Chains A and B, each alone.
Chain A
Amino acid sequence: MAKIQVKTKINGEKTEFLCQAYDTVLDVLRRDLNMTGTKEVCSTGDCGACSITMDGRLVCSCLVLAAETEDKNIETIEGMAKNGKFNVLQKTFLEHAALQCGICTPGMLVAAKSLLEKNINPTETEIRYWLAGNLCRCTGYDKIVKAVQAAAEEIRENA
């Protein structure tokens, strides 16, 4: 089957790739573009490890077809640190020991960033429900929630 040519933007950079009609964004990121920061854990939209944003909207990249990214703005974990500096969430995750094995961390960070872009003063309950689609098996979520709270506080102080 002839491959589809797609022109998109990933982390601000113009990107072109060829894909099959059935390829997901996750397939293309990991396999074809070698952007392995986005993790594949379930491939059914149940775990959030492959979270990215597409035109600012938080999505599971395993549930979006690669061909759908034509003319879209994709943001992945690789674009989160800017100019060699951590995003505030990356910093608070490290300071609060909010990761153990770290496989859920990229998706968790992308999802948390998406929350804080909408709400810089979330309650604990709002954080817990926003992140309910991002599984973590190591931490019991306690330190993840605290790291998001700390990042929100830092954002508010600097606002």
Chain B
Amino acid sequence: MNEMDNKWIGKNTIRPDGADKVTGRAEYGADTIMPGMIWGKVLRSPYPHATIKSINTKKAEELDGVFSVATSSDCVDFPVDTPVILGIQDIRWMARNVLAKEKVLFHGHPIAAVAAMTEEIAEKACELIEVDYDVHPWAIEIDDAIKPDAPILHDFIKFDGKPSNIAGTLEHKKGNIEEGFKDADIIIEKEFETAAVHQGYLETHACLVSVSPDDRTTIWSSSQGQFMVRAMTSFITGIPQSSIRAIPAEIGGGFGGKTIVYLEPVATILSKKSGRPVKMVMTREEVMRASGPTSGSKSKVKIGAKNNGKITAAQGTFYLQAGAFPGAPIRGAAGCCLAPYDIPNAHTFGYDVVSNRSKVAAYRAPGAPIGAYAVECVLDEVAEALNMCPLEFRLKNAAKEGTKAVHGPTYPVMGYVETLEACLSHPHYKAPLKKLQGRGYASGFWFNAGGESSAQVNITEDGNVVVTTGHPDIGGSRASIANITAELLGIDVNRVSVLIGDTATIGFSNLTGGSRVLFASALVVTESTNQVIDILKDRASKIWNIDKEAIEWENGEARPAGDNAGKFKPLTLVELAEQATPTGGPIGAGHQVNTVGAEGGFATHICDVEVDIELGIARVIRYTAAQDVGKAIHPAYVEGQLQGGVVQGIGWALNEEYIYNKDGKLDNPGFLDYRIPVCSDLPMIDTILVEVPNPQHPQGVRGVGEVPIVPPLSAIANAIYDAIGTRFYSLPMSPPKVLEKISD
């Protein structure tokens, strides 16, 4: 299909779920009720680290208005020495994170839960639960967790043969690192730190669960995967997946943080024990204290280059906080950090470090911004030492089609160089700067993912279309799916309705994450729609009594082609739908597959800042993000992904941080003290959509959601250096830290 002829692909159509969302009709996790519904609340640990000697729930159970109480003794028992892997999660840890078992491992760790007539009664009952603790010393920061006499969170975790808080490692090697550094004319090595930051989705975790006496379970919840909710709830409660129907609510943001469960298994147990539907809604404070932030980190990066600007060697060591249970995103840090470059000799190493913080959850390109922050800042210093433009320096070392990446693959067609060239030719690159203003550059990479997806495309009796897929839509994927379906069928986009099915109405679909949703769902929707078109041609062939092969589908109708061209009046979708019953019955098709061919995404960003040296405020005053997006099916929502990712990166760079006090408790569990960017902090965020289509995808789609959060941390740090001549090696570059550094 000639791209210029596209009627819907590449157009900014109105999203199918839009009207509901601007009128307040859309139902999110906390917006539903059921007859007889009661409320659940969670009792949380007051200590960052303690053994649970006993839990007595008797007084809580006896309180008027209390229906049921849950503890880990109501969950399936997963021995600590036997991994139970589901995707990238281990159910051993998930179960213990949902309800603590042997130990509490962070302040806010759930211990028990109560279901009662009202939230107030449930809260009061939680206070009546008696827990006998044996309190232990704790470790919050990485250095405290890996020192020789550190308090050990999990006795069975061994490193170098000894109990340790280092739960795992990962490394990537290419060439000969020692030889590479020997070849270098200049070598720069620096150390970096980043604070733990929260995804900051505005909708707090919420669910409503009803379990009948025969264990048939309905879960209404907001998550990034209804099938994930079903599977994890099944594991933890022991109810088989076939008995659980998980219905996806509209999701009020996730950014990776809703790829695991917190409340659903607890509400299921409370509902099973009480016989009543149970609703649970976290407060913002609970979200901040007990749901996944992403890792804080410390890292060391060393890069060597020749005087001609060619990088000869790069080495990176990254320690990432996992929180209370193993699973820090070291793959993202160690795997993505050098991905934009063609480097002959490289070695990256990641450490997964547990400490007495809440268990980390995925956050937009998990780990990648941490790795890129260190590498891209050192690259800026190397470019400066070589007296080269930072973009030209990156261009000289850019990975291309055929480059063997440090993390393994040999790259197919990809558009990293094009993002650099787009920045070099953008007016922003040459725009003048005033005093105390500076410009910084950085690039970034994210793997992107494929995985399991299912779709069903049905033609309604009146000749319109209903498409059902299995992925919660966070950022406008339904709009893109409508565009693709309308394009393939040659009909108006408003005749296509796109829905997200629940676990009982659509085939298994892996969760919304890894920037996979449009890549994967476009594949299965395209295949299903093509099957539908084939059926429609078959129906026309029966009506006309000619070969199906002698029929083409064009512009929403079946037309006789070849020798038969012009012999019959074309049959529209509506006409074929009207004759569906006599020609063979309902018209529809579905497709389910493990999608492959998702290729990585690259971006390059330009950032201008202005530093107020009296207040220490670094303010982003102009921002341009160039990214290879493959093919923008709905450009406005692609731009939205870039803009949103950049602004989350700005928050990470300048203000956001988890602050712990001397008692091992989070001191800023709310939006007043945990400051995410607000509207008045920001300029418009300009985007350059570079389109190098993914050859392995029918529409050329590459994932776009995660790449844009990778470059901002370093782009901003590099811009601040350009503005005031001071380099920052620790995030966030918040006003107190900037002031302190300026006054040094």
A: residues with CB less than 8 A from B are 30, 34-44, 46-47, 49, 76-78, 80-81, 86, 90, 93-97, 99-106, 109, 125, 127-129, 131-146
Contacts and interface: CB of A to CB of B under 8 A. Distances in A.
A36 B27 contact: yes
Contacts of B644: 100, 137-140
Given A96-B636, A102-B22, 6 more contacts: A39-B28, A46-B672, A77-B24, A97-B12, A102-B17, A103-B203
Contact of B640 (A46, A100, A129): A100
28 contacts: A39-B252, A40-B30, A42-B670, A80-B24, A93-B18, A94-B22, A99-B22, A100-B253, A102-B21, A105-B21, A106-B24, A125-B680, A127-B679, A128-B679, A128-B682, A129-B680, A131-B680, A132-B680, A135-B671, A135-B678, A137-B201, A137-B676, A138-B640, A140-B682, A141-B679, A141-B682, A142-B682, A143-B639
B131 interface: no
Interface string B249-267: 0111111000000000000
Give the 7 A-B residue pairs with the shortest CB-CB distance, closest first. A37-B24, A103-B252, A102-B21, A140-B647, A97-B636, A140-B643, A77-B24
B671 A44 contact: yes
B550 interface: no
B648 interface: yes
Contacts of B204: 40-41
B389 interface: no
Nearest to B645: A140
B475 interface: yes
Nearest to A96: B636
A70 to B, nearest CB: 23
A7 B649 CA distance: 47
A62 to B, nearest CB: 10
A33 to B, nearest CB: 12
Nearest to B647: A140
Contact of B202 (A49, A77, A143, A145): A49
A129 B17 CA distance: 29
B646 A34 contact: no
Contacts of B474: 100-101, 138
Interface string B3-25: 00000000010110111011111
B424 interface: no
B15 A145 contact: no
B202 A94 contact: no
Contact of B23 (A80, A103, A128, A145): A80
Contact of A77 (B23, B281, B681): B23
Given A44-B284, A95-B14, A135 B685 contact: no
Given A94-B18, A97-B637, A138-B475, A44 B670 contact: yes
Contacts of A49: 202
Contacts of A129: 679-680
Contacts of A135: 202, 671, 676, 678
B543 interface: no
Interface in B513-553: none
B278 to A, nearest CB: 15
A131 B27 CA distance: 24
Nearest to A124: B684
Contacts of A138: 253, 474-475, 640, 644
Contacts of A145: 679, 684
Contacts of B250: 101-102
Contacts of B12: 97
Contacts of B203: 39, 41, 101, 103
**Which bracket fits the contact residues of B?**
35 or more
B600 interface: no
A99 B643 CA distance: 12
Contact of A139 (B15, B17, B23, B640): B640
B603 to A, nearest CB: 14
Interface in B314-358: none
Interface centre among A131, A133, A139 (most CB of B within 10 A): A139
A100 B476 contact: yes
B400 to A, nearest CB: 30
Contacts of B646: 140
A78 B22 CA distance: 9
Contacts of B681: 132
B682 A37 contact: no
Given A39-B252, A76-B24, A129-B680, A101 B284 contact: no
B82 to A, nearest CB: 37
B667 to A, nearest CB: 15
B115 to A, nearest CB: 16
A100 B21 CA distance: 9
B22 A38 contact: no
A104 B250 CA distance: 13
Contacts of B639: 97, 142-143
A99 B253 contact: no
Contacts of B63: none
Interface in B628-679: 634, 636-637, 639-640, 643-648, 670-672, 676-679
Given A46-B671, A135-B671, A99 B21 contact: yes
Most buried by B among A81, A99, A139, A140: A140
B31 A142 contact: no
B26 interface: yes
B251 to A, nearest CB: 6
Question: Which of A34, A46, A78, A102 gathers most chain B CB within 10 Å?
Answer: A102
Contacts of A106: 22, 24
B637 A100 contact: yes
Nearest to A95: B14
Contacts of B281: 40
B23 A81 contact: yes
Given A94-B18, A100-B644, A103-B202, A38 B24 contact: yes
Nearest to B623: A140
Contacts of A134: 679
Contact of A42 (B24, B284, B634, B679): B284
Contacts of A94: 14-15, 18-19, 22
Contact of B283 (A36, A43, A76, A77): A43
Contacts of A30: 30-31
B252 A142 contact: no
Contacts of A41: 202-204, 252, 284
B693 interface: no
Interface in B385-432: none
A90 B284 CA distance: 27
Contacts of A42: 284, 670-671
A47 B671 contact: yes
A2 to B, nearest CB: 16
A34 B14 contact: no
A73 to B, nearest CB: 18
Contact of A86 (B22, B27, B283, B679): B22
B228 to A, nearest CB: 18
B499 to A, nearest CB: 16
Contacts of B647: 139-141
Interface in B462-496: 474-476
B180 interface: no
B33 interface: yes
B200 interface: yes
